[in-house]
């Protein structure tokens, strides 16, 4: 497996500060991903750690960052007044990782005509079905030391739950900020309150977006997510995770070991990566 280094990262010269953990690949491919956490979690969330390791092994520079509210409070959820500052923190994190990856932040990929149009949403087979059939596992899978190329100058943003929602809101406000989004367990509405939709910004989202969502997620059903994707004027894809709830199988010491690799395979296919 390709070696990567992991170190604590901080940029206190900006406001809000950027703090987290930087994964640097042995053989960089020129691309980077910023990953952030859900409302009750942090940059140390096992799902983020596993994803960062998977992406870094494939050549990506990865920054797992704590949102500003988590930097000042070690536990508990964010408040309504935290959201704007959390988005500003994400923007600072993107700038920080751009400097570390050594590539200009160009969003040509996001602006491409190939990623526009309201009829471009897709739904992938549930991940557990993929494992049983061996389909995408054989088609997309690569050796563990493979470095994926053709990603120069591309910076991506990803988040779980609240972190994903704030990422999508930031990119709706700043259309050319990133090459694409990875949104896991998007919190479409509070549990048992489907009338409280969190979709107002989605018609302004022009970044290609891969959604990963559990079939038992109380924050939104697969059917609701499919309907929601039609609101987004960029290319989208929904990757259902069969049997998973909002935590996507990463709760406490439990880990859905195959999930990070399969998310990366779908990510590679969706964003037209080659190895």
Q: Give the CA radius of gyration of the chain.
A: 17
What per-residue confidence (pLDDT) applies to 125?
Answer: 58
Looking at per-residue pLDDT, the higher value among 219 and 273 belongs to: 219
Looking at per-residue pLDDT, the higher value among 134 and 119 belongs to: 119
What is the spatial distance between Cα 127 and Cα 95, in angstroms, rounded to a whole number? Answer: 33
What is the spatial distance between Cα 159 and Cα 154, in angstroms, rounded to a whole number? Answer: 17
Mean pLDDT value of segment 238-263: 89
The pLDDT tens digits of the residues spanning 187-215 come to 999 999 999 999 999 999 999 999 999 99
Fold of 4-270: Rossmann fold (3.40.50)
Of 74, 62, 68, give the one whose Cα is nearest residue 21: 62
- Predicted confidence (pLDDT) at residue 269 exceeds the cutoff of 50: yes
C-alpha distance from residue 35 to each of 38, 55, 94, 123, 235 (Å): 10, 11, 10, 23, 20
- pTM of the shown model: 0.83
What per-residue confidence (pLDDT) applies to 116?
Answer: 36
Domain extent listing, the chain: 4-270
Q: Write the DSSP string, 99-152.
A: HHHT-----HHHHSGGGB-TT-EEEPPPHHHHHHHTHHHHHH---TT---BS-T
């Amino acid at each position: 497996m390709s070696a990567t280094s992991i170190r604590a990262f901080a940029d206190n010269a900006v406001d809000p500060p950027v703090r987290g953990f930087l994964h640097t690949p042995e053989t960089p491919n020129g691309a980077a991903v910023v990953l952030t956490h859900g409302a009750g979690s942090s940059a140390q969330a096992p799902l983020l750690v596993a994803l960062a390791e998977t992406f870094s092994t494939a050549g990506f520079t990865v920054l797992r960052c704590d949102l500003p509210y988590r930097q000042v409070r070690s536990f508990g959820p964010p408040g309504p007044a935290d959201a704007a500052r959390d988005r500003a923190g994400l923007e600072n994190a993107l700038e920080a990782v751009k400097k570390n990856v050594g590539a200009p932040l160009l969003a040509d990929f996001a602006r491409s005509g190939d990623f526009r149009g309201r009829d471009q949403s897709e739904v992938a087979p549930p991940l557990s079905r993929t494992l049983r059939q061996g389909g995408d596992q054989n088609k997309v899978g690569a050796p563990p030391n493979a470095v994926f190329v053709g990603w120069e100058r591309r910076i991506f943003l990803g988040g779980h739950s609240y972190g994903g929602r704030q990422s999508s809101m930031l990119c709706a406000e700043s259309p050319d900020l990133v090459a694409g989004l990875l949104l896991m367990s998007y919190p479409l509405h509070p549990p048992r309150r489907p009338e409280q939709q969190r979709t107002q910004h989605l018609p302004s989202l022009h970044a290609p977006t891969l959604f990963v969502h559990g079939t038992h997620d109380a924050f939104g059903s697969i059917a609701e997510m499919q309907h929601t994707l039609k609101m987004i004027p960029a290319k989208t894809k929904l990757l259902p995770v069969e049997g998973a709830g909002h935590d996507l199988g990463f709760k406490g010491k439990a880990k859905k070991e195959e999930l990070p690799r399969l998310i990366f395979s779908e990510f590679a296919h969706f964003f037209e990566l080659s190895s």
